[in-house]
A and B are shown apart, each in its own frame.
Chain A
């Protein structure tokens, strides 16, 4: 019995050793960890598609330091432990000198200790939780806005929209809880009453219980923070339950075009914060890269609804590529150093990093613009405010 099991195990080990990965490195690898399946799959795929556009654009222009860049994209399955696994693979097996990720705040917070352990820089393209840049991780560089920045940008609209009592419905993760906390703080400071604060699991699909409670609360505005899949369902189910409050989605992962196609007229009258408004490319800081990105997106036949998400990946890869150029070599320490000096004219605006967090171990934070749009008559319009 023993002898036989030993033989088998040897055979298995042998087979796996033969198949071990060992390839010559002629390109500069950049790691990407995104949720390509699971609850955040739609957004994660859009970001990956945007990243691929940037990869091809950079390589068509001759690459970086005379070499082509090569994205290694790993699927975190919308799960924090899996996300840590992807980073482990990217750094230990693929030996990438820099990583972009990880979409959701929870996923990003999950991988941050690994990033620190291996001292590899991470460019955060989407996550909004304040904790990411205030926890003293000096390998984190965020190009997306924090929930707090978003809430502050929203402040002037409170009076204009005439919000008196607000309810909240958000995912029970860092993204949702963080956003609800910042918005409710800002609203309270501006004299708005807070009704109920409901949460949901990121994988939930039936919100009738929460929406029924929100209806009973009787607020005039409902703030919703989650990914586009759940926003679609919430808009539909709110309409079914005759919840006639104004719905505002925060966090910028709401893909209004997708809402128009998937939620139909249930989407009418809803407001959405976005960080890139592809319907009005002329209002953005850098129309030139925005148009280049949009053209390529359309050419590749990607979902138009993903435009508001894909640019994050596009900008993220450009930021890393620029940092590698400045560093002059594809090594983690040099790239980390270089990211502080990196300036990119991106879709997010002029990307550059200011210091945030405890002195001595600051993280980098970019300050992008925030836009509020409205869906009206099956079309995305300027909120008119």
Chain B
């Protein structure tokens, strides 16, 4: 029964989001939702590392930025000098291909960083992840020939998709991008949900809960941390690519630490290690600035509010909003509930 309730609420939620632009035609609000959605995708991907494996990765924006830059560069084309007169050049490629390359490349970076940095834990891991993001920012800033440095990559093409029977869709402007982001967010949600409810996800959670015990039952620590990093990096790269082709400009500040912090706040506030946490946290911190703006609050004060909120949440809601509500709900519903027992019917035949 609870399965049906879950499914129904998921579907009504999706239906609400799909029909939203039909009755909500404020373009600016749609813009806010698109940006919020992109950040939610990034936060969901961070949650895989932060929430499920328990590794406080503070370099996550690097994967987002790499996705944005790679997708932009592949779709714009480039020519760089590698040694002397030898040049490497790439003709502009279709955007969908560029986005695919971006996801793969971000995943590859995740693989390498995972291999290197999971040699260490705790404070060291945190500082390595911060350093990695900073190095990527400095490369983006200084490799003028490739990235244009502080001049930014401009005029990034938008996504064009030819769909058989429908014709070509141009993802320019608010409405198509809204649906694109919605689709990517649902995809990300589904991938992460499948992952954490599988053998792989249980291995990640086990590492977070009790690493020695996890290894004692045969879980290969590095393998699953790296797997989590690769998937997480790939999804963050996807968010970055969507972002780049929506705002159509990317500059090195996309790697700023403050964006990692934004993602961390979203995850921690919503509830790390829960599927809905980053979405709830993302909606709050994506839309809150606009709400505050309605009250004519200066951006600095808004950030002060963020900082203070973060501290208060750690003190008073250390698990985040979603787990707190879930516990309250359980306490309320638990009284009338019957004790769960072993399911008597096996849903699917055993092989």
Contact = CB atoms under 8 A, between A and B. Distances in A.
23 contacts: A2-B5, A2-B13, A3-B9, A5-B279, A6-B12, A8-B325, A12-B283, A13-B283, A16-B290, A17-B24, A20-B294, A80-B249, A80-B251, A81-B152, A85-B247, A89-B28, A106-B152, A110-B249, A110-B251, A113-B154, A113-B248, A172-B149, A173-B150
Given A1-B274, A9-B279, A19 B9 contact: no
Given A89-B28, A113-B248, A172-B149, A4 B325 contact: yes
B276 A20 contact: no
Measured as residues with beta carbon below 8 angstroms from the partner, the interface class of chain A is: 35 or more
A19 B250 contact: no
Nearest to B7: A2
A204 B220 CA distance: 45
A205 to B, nearest CB: 15
A79 B26 CA distance: 26
Given A15-B291, A20-B26, A81-B247, A5 B154 contact: no
Most buried by B among A13, A75, A177: A13
Contact of A12 (B13, B144, B284): B284
Interface in B24-62: 24, 26-29, 31
Interface string A190-209: 00000000000110000000
Interface string B242-285: 00000111110110000000000000000000111001100110
A172 B27 CA distance: 36
Chain B CB within 10 A, most for which of A1, A80, A88, A92 = A1
Most buried by A among B172, B283, B290, B299: B283
Nearest to B329: A4
A21 interface: yes
Do most interface residues of chain A lie in helix, strand or loop, or is the interface mixed? helix
Interface string B89-130: 000000000000000000000000000000000000000000
Task: Give the contact-size bracket for chain B.
Answer: 35 or more
Q: Which 9 A-B pairs have the closest CB atoms?
A: A19-B294, A5-B276, A93-B28, A4-B325, A80-B152, A2-B9, A92-B28, A173-B150, A16-B287
A109 B283 contact: no
Contacts of B142: 172, 201
B9 A109 contact: no
A88 B34 CA distance: 13
Contact of B152 (A15, A21, A110): A110
B295 interface: yes
B342 interface: no
Most buried by A among B144, B280, B295: B280
Contacts of A148: none
Given A12-B287, A173-B151, 20 more contacts: A2-B276, A4-B322, A4-B325, A6-B9, A6-B13, A8-B321, A9-B280, A15-B287, A80-B150, A80-B154, A88-B31, A106-B151, A109-B154, A110-B154, A110-B251, A112-B154, A113-B154, A172-B144, A173-B150, A201-B141
Scoring B6, B154, B326 by chain A CB atoms within 10 A of each residue's CB, the highest score goes to B154
Contacts of B215: none
Which of B26, B150, B290 has the most C-beta atoms of chain A within 10 angstroms of its own C-beta?
Answer: B150
A177 B248 CA distance: 23
A174 interface: yes
A172 B150 contact: yes
A16 B276 CA distance: 20
B75 to A, nearest CB: 14
A84 interface: yes
Most buried by B among A16, A79, A93: A16
Contacts of A201: 141-142, 150
A316 B28 CA distance: 27
A79 B251 CA distance: 8
Contacts of A89: 28
Contacts of A171: 150
Interface string A83-117: 01100110011000000000000100110110001
